[in-house]
Amino acid sequence: MRTAFLSALAALLLPFPAFAADPQIIGEKNGKDVVTVRVGDASTSKQSLPFFPGISNKNAGAKNLSLLKVVIPPGASAQAHVHKGYESAIYLLQGTVETKYGEHLEKSVVNVAGDFIYIPADVPHQPTNLSKTEPAIGIVARNDGDEQEHVILLPKK
């Protein structure tokens, strides 16, 4: 009975690895060394989602790209936003996500685990996890070394 409880608890915590609170940086951010980032606890993005900042200017000294893991909790949505001047690419590792997009979020696409997703610069969008029980998890790459600096939130409706 206790083993089943611990297994269930571990499954719930799986997307949130138990590392140190701050990321561990291995290597020098001098533009000459390979840098490894071991993520710590989740931060909260401007879009109100848990994310694990990996490669960025701050963590690795990257000038023109960022790479991070984002988690959309069950039934949750990001706040509608744009990435001002920067493109995004996402690999959906787990879950089913509906992304509303367009000037008035009038368009929609549903993506499933295994999909590669491209979001052009300056396109308003708002992803929503369609599952009420499982988190959606994605790996996000952007041609911006400051992963949150150019996120512009749209007014809530």
d(CA 23, CA 21): 7
Averaged pLDDT, 46-51: 87
In terms of residues, how long is the chain? 157
DSSP secondary structure, 96-142, as one string = EEEEEESTTS-EEEEEETT-EEEE-TT--EEEEE--SSS-EEEEEEE
Averaged pLDDT, 58-66: 93
Looking at residue 134, its pLDDT comes to: 98
* Residues of the chain above pLDDT 70, percent: 86
Averaged pLDDT, 95-104: 97
**What top-level class would CATH report for the domain 43-153?**
mainly beta
d(CA 40, CA 50): 12
d(CA 104, CA 100): 9
Looking at residue 48, its pLDDT comes to: 82
What is each CA distance from 76 to 8, 28, 82, in whole angstroms?
A: 21, 37, 18
Residue 151 has pLDDT above 60, yes or no: yes
Looking at residue 14, its pLDDT comes to: 44
* Confidence band for 85, pLDDT divided at 50, 70 and 90: very high
Pairing of strands 36-38, 24-26: antiparallel
User: Is the pLDDT higher at 47 or at 74?
Assistant: 74
DSSP secondary structure, 23-71, as one string = PEEES-TTTTS--EEE--SPEE-TTS-EEEEEESHHHH--SS-EEEEEE
d(CA 27, CA 108): 42
Looking at residue 21, its pLDDT comes to: 66
DSSP three-state, residue 88: strand
pTM over 0.85: no
Could you tell me if 20 and 40 are in contact, meaning their C-beta atoms sit under 8 angstroms apart?
yes
Looking at residue 15, its pLDDT comes to: 45
